[in-house]
Amino acid sequence: MRMLVTGGSGFVGSALCRRLHVLGHDVIALARRPSPMLAAAGIRTVIHDLAAPAADSSLAGIFTGVGCVFHTAAHVKMWGTREAFRAGNIVATDHVIAACREAGVPRLVFTSSPSVVATPAGLRGVDESQPYPAHFEAFYPETKAAAEQAVLAAHSAALRTIALRPHLIFGPGDTNLVPTILARARAGRLVQVGDGSNLVDLTFIDDCVEAHGLAAAALDERPSAGGRAYFISQGTPVPLWGWIARVLELHSVAPVRRKISARLARVLATVAETTWRTCRFKSDPPLTRFLAEEMATDHYFDLSAARRELGYAPSLTVWEATERSFGGAAAPP
């Protein structure tokens, strides 16, 4: 069967492309740049900007004959303009939905984020009944929430849709989470926010990819699964700063020594955001309110719906996946 993955050169998209290819599917990777890794695996890449004004009409031809579209592409940044986030998340997703409809694609699996329901107080064991907030702390969750709602609203007999919400994805090939942690730590810019006791869910890349395959299958096998969002993770929360400490240790990077309170972090983040917005600096601010909250509060989820409707079951614990990804003996903090 022909499968198409948007964001095919990204961390999740690339891993998903390779897995689908191994399973024998005819895979098309849609990306904004070539991927030597996909080319070496024999996977065809089509270069395309999903946010371009005429993207919806030009996409239909690419989507023709596709049995499932996995929309993993997104504008994922800590900072930027609302227009950039809107184009990369909302406009691009609208174009994907329109192209799916025009080309007659029967299934669409969207890679969303738990941040679409994030609150300043954190999230503790919530399920998918958790509402979208009235106010968002950043443009990324705001625009991802709008995109997720559009995908779920598009669910119909002709185009069956699902949204997955994997949290803090890590593993071999990671281009975002762990590299950012390591870069900040090596530069002496990683500071613990809060007392270090906050618990978070994380998602191993192999299980994230597996969840996407299960979601596509569920759209064929269980009608009740469609038109809904699902939290995805390893299923057991761990102390965020304990996990970061282990990641640093496995990479022979010095541990974090500096700490600030969550309250002070929010004040500093507010000042930084105001300064960067007023002065229109091109760089990212050293801290944002959304990032400060993510580093200091609990974020873990009830996976009951994904287990029941998708048949999802994490293959490893967070600690096991961390050791498998980065080497060393299993010795959680």
- Cβ proximity of 107 and 220 under 8 Å: yes
What CA–CA distance (Å, rounded) separates 27 from 93? 20
- Residues of 33-70 as b/e, b for ≥16 C-beta within 10 angstroms? eebeebeeeebebeebbbbeeebbeebbebbeebebbb
- What tens digit of pLDDT does each residue of 75-102 get? 888 888 889 999 999 999 999 999 999 9
What CA–CA distance (Å, rounded) separates 108 from 151? 8
Write down the catalytic residue from 132, 140, 230, 312: 140
Amino acid at 286: P
Our answer to whether residue 312 is catalytic in this structure is: no
Domains and CATH numbers, the chain: 2-167+202-233+299-314 (3.40.50.720)
Q: What is the pLDDT of residue 98?
A: 94
Q: What are phi and psi of 27, to 5 degrees?
A: -105, 135
- Cβ proximity of 233 and 303 under 8 Å: yes
Q: What are phi and psi of 263, to 5 degrees?
A: -65, -45
What CA–CA distance (Å, rounded) separates 228 from 149? 9
What CA–CA distance (Å, rounded) separates 333 from 323? 12
The structure tokens 């990306």 sit at 31
Q: What is the pLDDT of residue 330?
A: 39
What CA–CA distance (Å, rounded) separates 63 from 146? 23
Beta-carbon neighbour count of residue 238 at 10 Å? 20
pTM of the model: 0.93
Q: Which residues of the chain have pLDDT under 50?
A: 329-333
- Cβ proximity of 323 and 251 under 8 Å: no
**CA-to-CA dists, residue 14 to 31, 39, 40, 92, angstroms:** 10, 11, 12, 18
